[in-house]
Structure 1
């Protein structure tokens, strides 16, 4: 029963934090350490990420189909090449390249060295302040239809910073979007679309780990298929709700609550590390 309760908690964490600008990797690394559960492990994480991947694919299914169709047609029919959806296809491709390339090149460093809680705590605070600064000074006079290939590349480069746990994929992308002058809703929507190749690609890349479910390595929690699939379902439900809520929220509100939360959580991580309550 304890394993199932832990799995539900971790599924909620994954579902909430994958899309909110507060870093899912930081939460999945810190809270199991704080509670003494051990690292969930690569296999468990790979499986529950499928839940949030399904959530984003389902929520944006119409956008994905429309963009994919327009982009494909534009390859053969010149009259489609100026359409926003066709251009959006190229923007997502170009914006995804930095995180894909760096993710492959730095895989071992990301999975080992970057998971140090000192790095995670610092990243939570620093990138939280960056998000707050960008949201405060950023203009709100640009929408998705005004996006350029340069902007997509810059937002993609920012997204790649999320390879460092604690940065947050959506948080980094939103920060760059606001600095470029996009309104919050436009920046958030593009951040979600830009995340699709990265999130789905990461899940597919880690599929090989799924065969290791229930085979805990030193320092990892020993979750079997039952708790793992439970966490997957929970992450899907919570993730879908988080997407819908965030898109509604940012249409009328600032990112300030997320900034405050990141700074408080990052500070707590560093204080607990310094006090010896948790290990790096």
Structure 2
């Protein structure tokens, strides 16, 4: 890859990992639409490491308090708000882990195409719009229940399909369950930590087994630009989402889906 391609792909990953518009779709599209060479497994790992560091640093206080509470109260009958939230993050991650191991090969073989991305981009974009319009926006993250966490966890399984968007589908589920916009976004971002970490470890395992040459400059640039883009994305999204809602992202998804449909049939 050229330096320009490295920077563009890293910024795309950093921005789209946390926006409800699908990072996997946007990393696939340059190869499908622009004819760029596939960025490869090592680069995917690097940009995801950048995104993971960004979300962990941004939520460092939450992670610390939840971890301490989990260690102190996680195994007791009486839970604190933080220990209960830590449990819910763990429980909500389990469906995605099971689905990832079971369906990874099928998804990579049959679902990584512009046609699939076009359909899921439009369909799940409309679902996000419906959830945002119909949502009550009243419940705070601190009062989330086990049932709600489990439903959001099962919704996250759909993110294995390119174009769905992990953050998009978890926010859709959270909004439908009555969480306010900021709370559903925060829970979605916290859920991203074990998911990105697990996917990254699996990718590292595949990378080691593949025994391919590594362009370390590309990886360093990729991780760095991804980190900066992801951190700014999280900060701005949480600052604005209560005011602007999900409509701008829905419009973007519909426009992107229309472009993809035109590209497929052109």
Could you state the TM-score of these two structures normalised by the residue count of structure 2? 0.95
| Equivalent position of 1:127 in the other structure | 124
Query: Which of 236, 242, 254 is residue 245 of structure 1 equivalent to?
Result: 236
Partners of 2:74 and 2:241 lie apart in 1 by 34
How far does residue 213 in structure 1 lie from its aligned partner after superposition?
8.5
What is residue 256 of structure 1 aligned with on the other side? Answer: 247
What is the RMSD computed on CA atoms of the aligned residues? 1.6
| Secondary structure of 2:162's aligned partner | coil
- Indicate if the aligned counterparts of 1:43 and 1:213 stay in contact, CA closer than 8 A: no
Q: How many residue pairs align between the two structures?
A: 265
Partner SS state of residue 201, structure 2: helix
Unaligned runs of 5+ in 2: none
Quote how far apart the aligned CAs of 1:82 are.
2.7
List gaps (5 residues or longer) in structure 1: 216-222, 276-280
Q: Which moved more, 1:67-76 or 1:132-141?
A: 67-76
Q: 1:136 aligns with which of 121, 124, 133?
A: 133
**1:41 Cα deviation from its structure 2 partner:** 2.2
Alignment map for 1:153-172 (pairs within 5 Å): 153-172=150-169
Aligned to 1:218: none
> How far is 1:225 from its partner?
2.3
| C-alpha distance in 2 between matches for 1:25 and 1:39 | 13
**1:218-233 alignment runs, 5 A limit:** 224-233=215-224
- d(CA) in 2 for partners of 1:210, 1:16: 24
- Contact 2:138 2:180 (8 Å CA) reproduced: yes
Q: SS at 1:166's partner residue?
A: coil
TM-score, normalising length: structure 1:
0.90
Partner of 1:178: 175
Cα separation, 2, equivalents of 1:120 and 1:38: 19
Q: Counterpart in 1 of 2:110? A: 113
State the 1:117 CA deviation: 1.6
CA deviation profile, 1:227-267 (whole Å, cap 9, x unmatched): 23211110011111101010001122210000000111011
